[in-house]
Structure 1
Amino acid sequence: MSSVTSAHPTGPVAQAFAARVREQEERALAPHATRSYPAERARPEDDCGIRTPFQRDRDRIVHSKAFRRLKHKTQVFVAPEGDHYRTRLTHTLEVTQVSRTVARALGLNEDLTEAIGLGHDLGHPPFGHIGEDVIDRCLQERFGRRFRHYEHSLRIVERLERDGAGLNLTAPVRDGILGHSGRAPQPATLEGRIVRLLDRVAYINHDIDDAVRAGVLSERDLPREPLAALGETGSKRIDALVHDVVEQSARAGDQIVQGEEAGAAMAALRSFMFERVYLGPAARAEHGKIERAIKTLFDHYVEHPDEIPPLLPEGEADLAERVTDHLAGMTDRYCIRQFEDLTVPDAFAP
């Protein structure tokens, strides 16, 4: 009878699990798919008897503090009034869902794709890309360093979670998280490249939906040629783009690619969104307020490092890292509360 006190209780299922998964993957996965075994971790661990290494990574990400904070972080619209706008968490779930669809259709590793999708935006600071830009400029001016959310996502899973122990994720998951942005080198795996492309497919289309709901855009404003190529609604456009990626990538064999027409239509929508929404008048009206709040906090914590909660054991992070880790980990509302505590006189505080 197996012991229930060991780290990984063994029994008939657990003893046969890895061998069964290996056999299934050799039979079902495409030649270029990433196999689940052996697990490549910075610190070797015994495998779980009922989850693949990538499934364990997924679970560690979902149970992390950084993942829970995503529900209170901006996707595009800052503190939107209404229950139906995307947050960084719902964006993450949408990216993961469509990425798994593509992975399944191409015979790639769904578990790896899911883990990368769920972890890709853990390092986003408060207020989305606006916050990322402000922290980056503050770091450059004060310390000569840069801030990139995809690099910070990797720092979170490698160093900051579990009081400095990190999540000890597998190498393909860490690689996919780091490489999900178009500014980063391509991921080594096809599964990571799926998330990199489908991240853009998801955010362009759901941000259009939110912009129309917010009244920043109307349906009449949307460029006609991309809509004619992809569809009039967000769901139709995502469906068209997903089918295109699957068919084009299946023909390519060892690449994740778009067709020329679909790629051009998506690029046109992205350019339109940067001009009208991401860098448009409504966004610019908020930029100054967000910049003031984050810069005020950044400067304050640089001058008062004793007020920064310890995220790592003493001596394992310098001042720039400590300030950045604290600021980037904040949710939007916590950032606002900290700014108000510093700037609003007690007599006027709500």
Structure 2
Amino acid sequence: MSVNKNSKYHSLSKEVYEQILGDREHGKINPYACKDSDIIRRQPDHDAPHLWRPAFVMDVEKILHNNYYNRYSDKTQVISCYKNDDISRRALHVQLVSRIARTIGMTLGLNLDLIEAISLGHDIGHTPFGHAGERYLNEIYNEHTGRLFNHNIHSARVLDKLIFRNISLQVLDGVICHNGEMEQQCYTPKTFNADDPWGEFDRSVEDCYTDPSANKKQIPGTLEGCIMRISDIIAYLGKDRQDAIKIGLISNDDSFSAGSLGSSNAQIIHNMTVNIIENSYGKPYISMDPDVYETFSKAKTENYQNIYNNDSLNTMYNDNIKPMFYCIYEELLRQAKSKDTNSILYKHHVNYIKDANRYSNYFGKKEFIDNYLSQDPNEIVVDFIASMTDDYFIDLYEYLFPDGPYKVNYVGYFDNI
């Protein structure tokens, strides 16, 4: 890789640059890319690809048209309760992940449709209020059932169970394996179990509900899944800093070390992209230089120190949003156990799930919906809460508890003038 000391933006080495150009000129295909013909579906007789709608393009469209996809637009990425249209929501985050991953994947000759599908679907099961909301829901769910809630696993549940549209194994695998909280210097994909790929997948999902260490052990089965996993971190690292600066949570020089990647969002994205391409082109793995990995990992640690563990943010979450989670959970659990068809749980969730699957012609879907209410009521409550947007969650609390003691005060557009 070429690094000009007078420039903050790195370049590919001449050797790799010319190799890529030469391979393109000769039409060389990356032998490690996931081919459309490799696609694995639960119901293989459905969803035959077309010339104009290839295999993984179908998955992209199934995710875009998923009933829960639109809710990304009002789910917190990191910063909640600010009336500021420039603060990132998950809708923007998944698009940024997709763009970064597709840029890297295009240069490496990978399957861009698969990359896009994983990127757009990876957070569809995320809770309101970001990772704070995820922690609270996991805490309550675990107290009631002994099981664990992880947003990546729940994203697969949304795509593979609640709104079943026969999403491919490769996409669902990339979703459960994205774990953007754990960076690595080298990402080497696993090999799918050829004899029982869905059994292997289902066991991995179940392990994540019962084993606290299982979630961090998930390894993508495709290079495309590996690319999306690292791109998830690249996408939020500098963007979260931008957002924190916008609201005055931190200053421009607030204990961030530039290192070899730079400190701005643009520098981080550019230099990480270049370094990954430099170290991964033509390889059966995704990698980066040791010093870049060290700087990258340190930058994420600094984000935790200055943003994610910031006292002013966490005080607001812990003092109001956390107890609201407990109140809402217990009330919805009561409704689930009573099976009151006039309750909010039924009208806004159970009936919603039924309507979303009303015209589904996939085998076994009707049976799942018919049996949905016979499962542990905690599962139904978790499905509902995880599906909520930030605003809906707050309005639901006020509706259920009009005299409740907890209240979230938004920072308004004109409060800091």
Query: How far does residue 107 in structure 1 lie from its aligned partner after superposition?
Result: 0.8
C-alpha change, 1:278 and 1:132, in structure 2 (3 Å) is same
Give the structure 1 partner of residue 270 of structure 2: 239
| Alignment partners' CA distance in 2, 1:286 and 1:206 | 22
Residue range with higher mean Cα deviation, 116-125 or 242-251:
242-251
| Alignment partners' CA distance in 2, 1:117 and 1:299 | 33
Letter in 2 for 1:33: A
Q: Is the 8 A contact 1:178 1:184 kept in 2?
A: no
| Alignment partners' CA distance in 1, 2:236 and 2:59 | 24
Q: Per the alignment, in what secondary structure is the counterpart of residue 51 of structure 1?
A: coil
Give the structure 1 partner of residue 298 of structure 2: 268
Give the structure 2 partner of residue 328 of structure 1: 386
| Alignment partners' CA distance in 1, 2:102 and 2:91 | 17
Give the structure 2 partner of residue 167 of structure 1: 165
Give the structure 2 partner of residue 338 of structure 1: 396
When the two chains are superposed, the root-mean-square deviation of aligned CA atoms in Å is: 1.9
| Alignment partners' CA distance in 1, 2:237 and 2:398 | 33
- Following TM superposition, where does structure 1 have runs of at least 4 consecutive aligned residues deviating by more than 4 angstroms? none
Higher helix share: 1
| Alignment partners' CA distance in 1, 2:81 and 2:54 | 38
| Alignment partners' CA distance in 2, 1:123 and 1:31 | 33
TM-score, with structure 1 as normaliser: 0.86
Give the structure 2 partner of residue 200 of structure 1: 233
Query: How far does residue 302 in structure 1 lie from its aligned partner after superposition?
Result: 1.2
Structure 2: unaligned runs, 5 residues or longer? 1-23, 183-215, 355-368, 408-417
Residue 178 in structure 1 maps to residue 234 in structure 2: no
Residue 283 in structure 1 maps to residue 313 in structure 2: yes
Out of 284, 290, 293, which is 1:254 matched to? 284
| Alignment partners' CA distance in 2, 1:29 and 1:344 | 61
Structure 1: unaligned runs, 5 residues or longer? 1-23
Residue 298 in structure 1 maps to residue 329 in structure 2: yes
Letter in 2 for 1:342: L
Give the structure 1 partner of residue 43 of structure 2: 43
* Post-superposition CA distance 1:153-202 (Å, at most 9, x none): 000001111xxxx0211111111111111435110000000011110111
Letter in 2 for 1:107: G
Q: Is the 8 A contact 1:29 1:109 kept in 2?
A: no
Residue 218 in structure 1 maps to residue 251 in structure 2: yes
Residue range with higher mean Cα deviation, 96-105 or 35-44:
35-44
| Alignment partners' CA distance in 2, 1:93 and 1:231 | 23
* Post-superposition CA distance 1:109-155 (Å, at most 9, x none): 11111111111110101101001000100011111111000000000
| Alignment partners' CA distance in 1, 2:156 and 2:371 | 20
| Alignment partners' CA distance in 2, 1:90 and 1:236 | 19
C-alpha change, 1:167 and 1:176, in structure 2 (3 Å) is same
Letter in 2 for 1:246: I
Q: Percent identity, aligned pairs only?
A: 29
Q: Per the alignment, in what secondary structure is the counterpart of residue 137 of structure 1?
A: helix
| Alignment partners' CA distance in 1, 2:53 and 2:391 | 36
* Post-superposition CA distance 1:53-101 (Å, at most 9, x none): 1001001111112111000100001032211110011000000000000
Out of 120, 129, 151, which is 2:122 matched to? 120
Query: How far does residue 38 in structure 1 lie from its aligned partner after superposition?
Result: 4.5
Out of 91, 94, 109, which is 1:92 matched to? 94
Q: Per the alignment, in what secondary structure is the counterpart of residue 230 of structure 1?
A: coil
Out of 299, 302, 315, which is 2:371 matched to? 315
| Alignment partners' CA distance in 2, 1:144 and 1:32 | 40
Alignment of 1:69-84 (within 5 A): 69-84=71-86
Q: Is the 8 A contact 1:41 1:170 kept in 2?
A: yes
Q: Is the 8 A contact 1:204 1:273 kept in 2?
A: yes
Query: How far does residue 228 in structure 1 lie from its aligned partner after superposition?
Result: 3.3
How many pairs are equivalent? 316
TM-score, with structure 2 as normaliser: 0.73
Q: Per the alignment, in what secondary structure is the counterpart of residue 250 of structure 2?
A: coil
Q: Is the 8 A contact 1:123 1:150 kept in 2?
A: yes
Q: Per the alignment, in what secondary structure is the counterpart of residue 286 of structure 1?
A: helix
Q: Is the 8 A contact 1:172 1:188 kept in 2?
A: yes
| Alignment partners' CA distance in 2, 1:257 and 1:282 | 36
Residue range with higher mean Cα deviation, 293-302 or 282-291:
282-291
| Alignment partners' CA distance in 2, 1:132 and 1:199 | 17
